[in-house]
């Protein structure tokens, strides 16, 4: 009888392993919706579908090649490790759930989000800034909203529609005028795909402001190169803003002082 009990336990553990492999395959090929459907098969499937083993694999696939993905994974790994360390037993540690699922949900807000839309035809590429002057009432509203949120908006070649490719852009070196107009540098930071689009008729006399819920497009193997290029361009734009704030006289004085230091050396 003891042998039979051991065999039954080993069989149960093997069944869990098999279910885990099935759910990982389902989630990685079919996504969250397929995992949710599979979790309704029975209590065993539901328990394993909630495990960190399944959600860790989902997170790593979802985040692959995005800027910040390595840091997201590091934080989630440390949080999961801390949860296991605080478990009362080895069995409880093995069944820790929720850490990676919470991380997935947290960063989904970074990958899928609604932004106001500026649309204009022309060539645009990630990490290649351009200067714009916002003067239309709808774009005065756009820059006001962007500054109140995260200084970002979507740049689209035409009015947004589902499936269209566009760019998420940062507002840099912004100069606002009393009437709401603005001069700024626009820095495209990522390509995105429009999931949903809507219009905001904020004033009956003006054209509406377009909005789009967009999903960031994975940059692929070039992700690290793009991240470094963006960091370099941001530094350049920050230097331009400092030079503008200091004024030409202060910049010239600083340059002269630097030249004198080089001569002394």
pLDDT tens-digit readout, 4-19: 454 544 444 578 888 8
Decide: 217 and 190 in contact? Cβ < 8 Å. yes
Which of these, 177, 234, 188, lies nearest to 214 by C-alpha position?
188
**And the tokens for 128?**
């290649």
Q: Tens digits of per-residue pLDDT, 50-93?
A: 999 899 999 999 999 887 888 999 999 999 998 878 655 555 54
pTM of the model: 0.74
Choose between 98 and 175: higher pLDDT: 175
User: Minimal CA–CA distance to 111: which of 57, 168, 50?
Assistant: 168
Higher per-residue pLDDT: 254 or 132: 132
* Mean of pLDDT values over 105-134: 95
* DSSP 3-state of 128: coil
- Please answer whether residues 168 and 114 qualify as being in contact, where contact means their C-beta atoms are separated by less than 8 angstroms: no
pLDDT score recorded for residue 96: 60
Residue 138 scores a pLDDT above 90: yes
Q: What is the pLDDT of residues 172-207, one digit of tens each?
A: 999 999 999 999 999 999 999 999 999 999 999 999
Whole-angstrom CA distances from 172 to 47, 130, 190, 245 are 47, 10, 15, 14
Nearest in space to 184 (alpha carbons), one of 232, 139, 229: 139
Buried b / exposed e along 34-49 (16+ C-beta atoms within 10 A): ebeebbeeeeebeebb
Residue 71, Cβ density class (10 Å: 0-12 exposed, 13-18 middle, ≥19 buried): exposed
Provide mean pLDDT across the span 81-106: 74
């Amino acid at each position: 009888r003891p042998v039979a009990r051991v065999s039954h336990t080993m069989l149960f553990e093997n069944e869990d392993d098999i279910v885990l492999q099935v759910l990982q395959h389902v989630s990685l090929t079919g996504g969250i919706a397929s995992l949710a459907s599979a979790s309704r098969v029975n209590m065993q499937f539901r328990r394993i579908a909630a495990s960190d083993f399944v959600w860790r694999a989902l997170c790593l696939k979802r985040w692959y090649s995005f800027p910040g993905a390595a840091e997201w994974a590091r934080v989630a790994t440390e949080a999961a490790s801390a949860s296991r360390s605080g478990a009362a037993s080895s069995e409880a540690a093995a069944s820790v759930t929720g850490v990676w699922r919470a991380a997935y949900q947290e960063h989904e807000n970074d990958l899928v989000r609604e932004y106001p839309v500026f649309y204009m035809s022309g060539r645009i590429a990630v990490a290649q800034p351009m200067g714009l002057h916002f003067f239309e009432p709808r774009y005065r509203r756009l820059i006001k909203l962007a500054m109140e949120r995260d200084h970002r908006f979507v740049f689209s070649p035409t009015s947004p529609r589902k499936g269209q490719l566009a760019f998420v852009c940062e507002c840099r070196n912004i100069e606002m005028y009393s009437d709401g107009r603005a001069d700024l540098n626009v820095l495209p930071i990522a390509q995105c795909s429009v999931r949903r689009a809507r219009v905001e008729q904020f004033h009956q006399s003006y054209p509406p402001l377009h909005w789009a819920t967009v999903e960031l497009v994975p940059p692929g193997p070039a992700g690290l190169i793009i991240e470094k290029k963006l960091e370099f361009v941001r530094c350049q734009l920050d230097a331009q803003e400092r030079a503008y704030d200091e004024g030409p006289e202060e910049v010239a004085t600083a340059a002269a002082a630097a030249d004198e230091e080089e001569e002394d050396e």
